[in-house]
Structure 1
Amino acid sequence: MSSLRRTKIVATLGPATDRPGEIERIIKAGVDVVRINMSHGSVEDHLKRAEFIRETATKLNREVAILVDLQGPKIRVARFTSGVVELTEGDKFALDNNVDPLNGNHEEVGLTYKNLPYDVKPGNLLLLDDGRIVMKVDQVVGERVECTVTVGGKLSNNKGINLLGGGLSASALTEKDKEDIVTAAKIDADYLALSFPRSAADVEYCRSLAQQAGLTCGIVSKIERAEAVADDETLDGIILASDVVMIARGDLGVEVGDAQLPAIQKKIIKRARQLNRVTITATQMMETMIENAIPTRAEVFDVANAVMDGTDAVMLSGETATGKFPHLVVDAMARICHEAEKNRSTRHSQHRIDEYFSAVDETIAMATMYAANHFNVKCIAALTESGNTPLLMSRISSGMPIFALTPHKSTRRKVCMYRGVYPSIVDYTGLTDDEVQQNVLKQLKTFGIVAEGDLVILTRGEQRGNMGGTNRLEIVKVP
């Protein structure tokens, strides 16, 4: 039981994982969820990768969820004639809708985001290429934003633009995103990630589009705009409208400033757990492993701190999509997570200890975890239809493995994102309650989790097949 890692690993697919045998290697190394980034690749690429993931996971007798990540608005400069220009402090530089999008130079460049001249005003600071280049807006003349470079460097084609403090009006969902939601429905994605939401309304709109496309999945809100964390009411609204929130530290760090990121990360994780939602910590977690076979000590600490903060999952981007060692980085991340989980703070919780509960299944979940943390049981077995009861259980810090036993494949894949929850198949067709109990205990023995005489907490509903029907908690002895 001690070998079970609780924190889940999300790995991005790309050219590196297309190499022969690499998908099998990263799954064996510990990947729980794969991310398909809709910013790159064709529809055919995405469908092919998704199909291969499902086939390989089945072959390895593993459940692996698929997260489709929408691109969102492209707030970028256009292209330069020479591909790159060198800017120095004090240079005058313009961002202009009327410049040929292929022929920018060291004085001006076109825009892919046409609303920029209407979103900024003199004195604003624009951060380009993840903040590597900084420009102060001097004036806006028609569709031309005239600036002075305050931090120089090389600026190349299609680099991103952020406004310090946020405030760009770009819609969270583009026409491309709407087309990609249809592709996600063809994939039968388990999660759909929304880029740059500013409010709960953005999340609800994304969910409605997914439902119209025939896709029933978890919605992941990527927290990457300053507006999303500007006040507690807005942040809570986004969290509650979502199934999962991703702390996307790249754009978020540029908009709010790097120094504020650690506190914001901790706040989001804590608040999401309080509101019974799932969190992913993302961006540059093990960036140097794109080129190197081992992580830096700083990266080790970063991953470990996210685990000790209580994140459900940690995410790899370029490390697995384009890096040299996809399976090695997954293996390294798994080891770091496992060691961090031995820290006492990751196994004890005061979650909702002084609150009343609003539903029967939540009451059962909280009672289960209190018993698990204060009684000598080996594990928790939750018979579940939707996966909601294991989700509620997983909001409480514990060292106790939670097995989500369900006949539904979609539910088994969904719980792959939940910290400390492990999917398992159960078929209770035509069985009595006693027969179901004996089958569950036999399955746990097969896993090597329990032995004769051990105690197990079993939760289930009286009416099998009903969503949200968990109303029974039993402590049973393994025969």
Structure 2
Amino acid sequence: RPFIYFLPNYRKHAEITRNYHSQQPDTDLQASKSTELYTYFIVNIFSCAMFCTNDQAPATKWIKSCRQMPWMISLEDQYVTDDQMKAAYQNTRLEHDVQLDINSSPKLARLTRIMVTLGRANSHPDAVVNMMMAGANIVRLNMSHETEKWHAISTQSVREAGNKMYELTSEVYPLGIAMDLQGPEIRTGVFRGDEKSIGYAKLEEGKSVKLVTDDAAKRGGSAKCFWISYSELPRVCRAADRILIDRGAALLQVSCIQANEITFDADEKAVTCRVVKAGIVRDNKLVQLLDSIVSLPQISDTDAEHARLASTLECDFLIMNHTRNGTMLRGMRSRLKQMGVSKICVVAKISTQQGLENFDEILSSADAILLDRNNIAVDVGNEKLFLVEKVIIAKCIRIGKPIVLGFQVYNDEKLNIDMNLIAHAVLNGVDGIFLKTGAMNANDITKLLKAVDIVCREAESARWQKEIFDELSYKWLNENDYICNVMVNIAESLPDWGKDIQTRIQTGIDSLRRKRYIKVGDPIVVISGWRQGTGFTNCVRIVYVSPGR
């Protein structure tokens, strides 16, 4: 009945409905004319809501227009997206995979978040704006490199980029900032000992190289000798132990340990190694002791100072690098509490075998998980990496913790990233993709982001929706659950129920419009209750999408 006052041509619709029913068997004519009219309107309203999609949709197929619906605009141009819907609701995974359409274009909006690393070549405001336009959701500041002043300036550039985005689009773009702490790690020094190779050393296979821990040699590294930041290196190393530098850029094997076992004098502490895998080693690169038991502090003073800086810069995420156990996370939370910081998410980065062994403890203490695929592969091997990913992702999904997978963009100084790996990560259920783009320029990052955006949308379209629905249904809250009862009581005690409903509807419309599911002017169907309480959800309205706020 409400639609009679909304649609000026309802008599014409009623005539069409009666003509249609006159061609049906007598049993179809038992319903009243009002019921026929109401049913016709309901069917066509929902059809309209499905057909009235963004005219810029990349995946469309022609649908014959319904010329009787007065609220439909540009009737000849109505399309409906086709993003693997035929396969989505198959009853078995086998049938789902069989029904996937390789010619289907990706969905309009992407749910998987993308995080990129800022560097000197891509941290200015215009570059950040381009990255935002290309699909970046979070930017990462790597505290292992650059100065605190540089990171503060980069944060200011992100804020300026957000203001520029608002000027361009009149929309607030919530670009998150993640500060990645240096963590308890071992790194090389600075290579300034050879004038022919300033900033790097070229290690040749079979040659010997000496690793020293004396701070006097910190900036005098060369291909024959360079500094390591771990003073206990001679104590923990044994002959034939392997030392990996820069995530596989070079591999060394210990051949001789030079140290006084009683005094461990600084002048005598050094480890001589043979180069097993040749490569170029640059300043301040990561060093991993593959066969040694390393004892490092839970939280260094440097990390504590950087956490304070993250609070000052109002960062959204604090990434605990090389998280080994839950004690590290609890210790950082305690320090943040002492600083008066509460609105920051603590993310545990899993990059070592020890972190994998204590993962359940870490998961219960962290707000989110970042899995560093390249570092984990060093410990478990490439043949086990896929298994680690599946286990970690499943554990995070089971308890509702966000999981992000890190991907190396460069390999041997060449752009080399396998999009299939990203697609499979999305199919497995990851919440975010982390791209290590610190050394890339702004244009290359923009191109990479666009490619990753398409891959993520393709993979999201190809997920088996019925399986997701069944798993979510299995997790439904019992009505007797305490949390459920609290939420129901809050909803029923609202002072202005009508205003709250309108606010929720407008917020939902604004969110869908920002994610490009709908655009301004699109007609949509809103189903809600007409009064407070249960049993009154029978109000159907058609509204046009407004610009919002």
1:159-170 → structure 2 map (5 Å cutoff):
159-164=285-290, 167-170=293-296
Which residue in the other structure is 2:458 paired with?
Answer: 339
Q: Distance in 1 between matches of 2:278 and 2:226?
A: 15
**By how many angstroms is 1:172 displaced?**
4.5
1:224 to 346, 351, 367: 351
**By how many angstroms is 1:363 displaced?**
5.8
Which residue in the other structure is 2:189 paired with?
Answer: 78
Q: Distance in 2 between matches of 1:68 and 1:332?
A: 25
Aligned-pair identity (%) = 22
Which residue in the other structure is 1:311 paired with?
Answer: 430
Q: Please, what TM-score do these two structures have when normalized by structure 1?
A: 0.73
Which residue in the other structure is 1:121 paired with?
Answer: 238
Q: Distance in 2 between matches of 1:345 and 1:207?
A: 38
Q: Does 1:325 align with 2:430?
A: no
CA contact under 8 A between 1:269 and 1:309: conserved in structure 2?
A: yes
1:59-458 → structure 2 map (5 Å cutoff):
59=166, 60-80=171-191, 81-82=193-194, 83=198, 84-98=200-214, 100-142=217-259, 143-164=269-290, 167-216=293-342, 217-229=344-356, 231=357, 234-284=358-408, 286-287=409-410, 299-318=418-437, 322=441, 324-345=443-464, 348-349=467-468, 351=471, 360=481, 432-445=496-509, 447=513, 448=518, 451-455=523-527
3-state SS of 1:15 partner: coil
Counterpart code for 2:142: N
What's the C-alpha RMSD, in Å, of the aligned pairs?
3.6
CA contact under 8 A between 1:274 and 1:351: conserved in structure 2?
A: no
**By how many angstroms is 1:125 displaced?**
1.2
Which residue in the other structure is 2:123 paired with?
Answer: 18
CA contact under 8 A between 1:452 and 1:478: conserved in structure 2?
A: no
CA contact under 8 A between 2:122 and 2:440: conserved in structure 1?
A: yes
3-state SS of 1:6 partner: coil
**By how many angstroms is 1:10 displaced?**
1.2
CA contact under 8 A between 1:79 and 1:103: conserved in structure 2?
A: yes
Larger helix fraction of residues? 2
Spell out, residue by residue over 1:149-189, the C-alpha distance to the aligned partner (whole angstroms, 9 max, x if none): 22233344433211225732222432221111111011122
Which residue in the other structure is 2:265 paired with?
Answer: none
3-state SS of 1:130 partner: helix
Counterpart code for 2:209: F
3-state SS of 2:418 partner: helix
Q: 1:199 to 1:353 in 2, by over 3 A?
A: farther
CA contact under 8 A between 2:217 and 2:227: conserved in structure 1?
A: yes
Q: 1:21 to 1:103 in 2, by over 3 A?
A: closer
Q: Distance in 2 between matches of 1:36 and 1:263?
A: 29
**By how many angstroms is 1:128 displaced?**
1.5
Spell out, residue by residue over 1:277-322, the C-alpha distance to the aligned partner (whole angstroms, 9 max, x if none): 11111131x448x977xxx6x6221211111111101012226864
Counterpart code for 1:433: W
CA contact under 8 A between 2:123 and 2:157: conserved in structure 1?
A: no
CA contact under 8 A between 2:236 and 2:292: conserved in structure 1?
A: no
1:27 to 109, 113, 132: 132
CA contact under 8 A between 2:125 and 2:157: conserved in structure 1?
A: no
Q: 1:283 to 1:165 in 2, by over 3 A?
A: farther
**By how many angstroms is 1:274 displaced?**
1.2
Q: Could you say which structure has the larger radius of gyration?
A: 2
Q: Does 1:39 align with 2:155?
A: no
Spell out, residue by residue over 1:385-435, the C-alpha distance to the aligned partner (whole angstroms, 9 max, x if none): xxxxxxxxxxxxxxxxxxxxxxxxxxxxxxxxxxxxxxxxxxxxx961221
CA contact under 8 A between 2:253 and 2:274: conserved in structure 1?
A: yes
Q: Distance in 1 between matches of 2:482 and 2:444?
A: 43
Counterpart code for 2:448: V
Q: Distance in 2 between matches of 1:25 and 1:273?
A: 32
